Amino acid sequence: MAVRGHPALRLVLRQTLRGYGGDTQKIRQFSGVGTSLVYEEYGDPQKVVVQRETNIPGLKEDQVLVRMLAAPVNPADINTIQGVYAVKPQLPSVPGNEGVGEVLEVGKNVESELQPGDRVIPRVNALGTWQTHALAASSDVIKIPSGVDLVTAATIAVNPSTAYRMLKDFVPVKRGDTVIQNGANSAVGQAVIQIAAALGMKTVNVVRDRTSIRELKEHLTGLGATVVVTEAELRKSEEVKALPPPRLALNCVSGRSGTEILRQLTPQGVMVTYGGMSRQPVTAPVGALIFNDVTLRGFWMTRWNKEHFSHPERLHMLDELFQLAQGGQLRPPDHTLVPFSNFQEALKNAMPSEGMLGKKQILIF
C-alpha cells in the first residue's frame, strides 16, 4: 500500500537506524521498512489510526533523511483525522503537522547548510510527523538552533507562533498596553501570556470556572499573567477595571465568551478569532460596532505559513521565539511524553474534554 503525506515525503527506515550516524553510502543504498501511523478514512482517531510498516525508496539528490524525535498531538491533528478541519489530505495519510527530527543524511544536491546531526522542524503543513523517519525535500524543513530542548523544538511552530503573530500583526500594541484573551489555559493562551509578558504587555486572561480554579489561576499567574478571571468574574472584576482598556482581544472560544471579551475593547479595538471551541458563532453587540467601531478579524497559522513559506519574517519569528525559550521566558505547555508504541494512549488523552484540554500529548520516537 502506498502511503501519502506531503508530496515530498516518503516513509522510512528500519528501527536499527534509530541511532545511525555513520556510513552515508550505506544509508543511500538501504531499502527497507519503517513504522508510521496511518489513517485510510476520516473518523474517530482511536478507531481509524493504525500503526503500519511502510516502504522507503532510495534517498533522492535533493532530499534529506530525517529521524523523528518528538511530535505533539495538536487539536488540528485530531480535527484533520476526523475530517472536520479546513485541510483534508489525500488518503491514506500519515498525520502530524508539527515535530522535531534529526537529519541522518542529505542528498548530494542539497545546497543548504543542512548536515547530518542537525535538528529540523517542518516548513510545510501536513508533512506527516507521526512516523519514525521521513524523506523530505530539503526546502520543506527548517534547521533550528542547537541546544533547544526537545519539547520546545517539537511544539514551537504552531502554538507559540500563533500567539506571536496575533500579538504582532493586528494592533500596534506596545509596552504597558493590555491584551485580553479567552481560553487562556490553552497552549496558545499560555504562549500569549509569556510572550506578552516578555514584551512588557499586560494580559487579562479569561478561563472557564472549574473545581481547580485556584490552581489554574496560580499556574497562569506564574507564567506572567496580569489578571486571571473566570467568565462570570470578567465584567465585575476590579482588577480588570484598573487596567488600561485592551486594544486587542484574542478569541479561541467564540459564542458568549467571545462576545464578552469583545465588550472589553477600547474604541477601534480589534478582536482576532483563531478558534471556536464552543462551536458557537461569533456574535458582535451592535453597540460595540456602531459606537466603538471595533474590528473583527480572523487568523489561521497554516495560511500565514503558506504565504510566508520562504519569507525572512518566518525565520525571524522563530529566532525570537527560540531566544525567548532559551532565556527562560517561554516555557513549553504542560505535557506528557508518550512512547510512539503507545500512540492510542496519546490519542485518547488528546481528545477534548469538559473544562478544556488537558496536558499536551507528545509522541517520543
Amino acid at 89: P
Give SS3 for 122.
Answer: strand
Calculate the CA dihedral of residues 244, 245, 246, 252 and round it to 10 degrees.
130
The answer to whether 256 and 278 have CB atoms below 8 angstroms apart is yes
Give φ, ψ of 280 to 5 degrees: -120, 155
Catalytic residue among 20, 39, 42, 85: 85
Q: Examine the residue annotation and report whether 85 is marked as an active-site residue of this protein.
A: yes
Q: Give the separation between CA 284 and CA 279, rounded to whole angstroms.
A: 16
Residue 39 class from Cβ within 10 Å (0-12 exposed, 13-18 middle, 19+ buried)? buried
Helix axes 213-223, 187-198, angle to 10 degrees: 40
Nearest to 140 by CA among 10, 309, 317: 309
C-alpha 45/C-alpha 39 separation (Å) is 8
Distance between CA atoms of residues 59 and 64, nearest Å: 7
Q: Does residue 196 contact residue 224 with C-beta atoms inside 8 Å?
A: yes
Hey, is 96 helix, strand or coil? coil
8 Å CB contact between 262 and 294:
yes
Cα distances from 275 to residues 51, 78, 213, 271, 335, in angstroms, run 30, 14, 22, 12, 21
For 222-240, the three-class secondary structure string (H helix, E strand, C coil) is HHCCCEEEECCCCCCCHHH
Torsion sign over Cα 69, 345, 190, 266: positive
Which triple of cell numbers denotes residue 328?
527562560
Q: Which residues are tagged catalytic?
A: 85
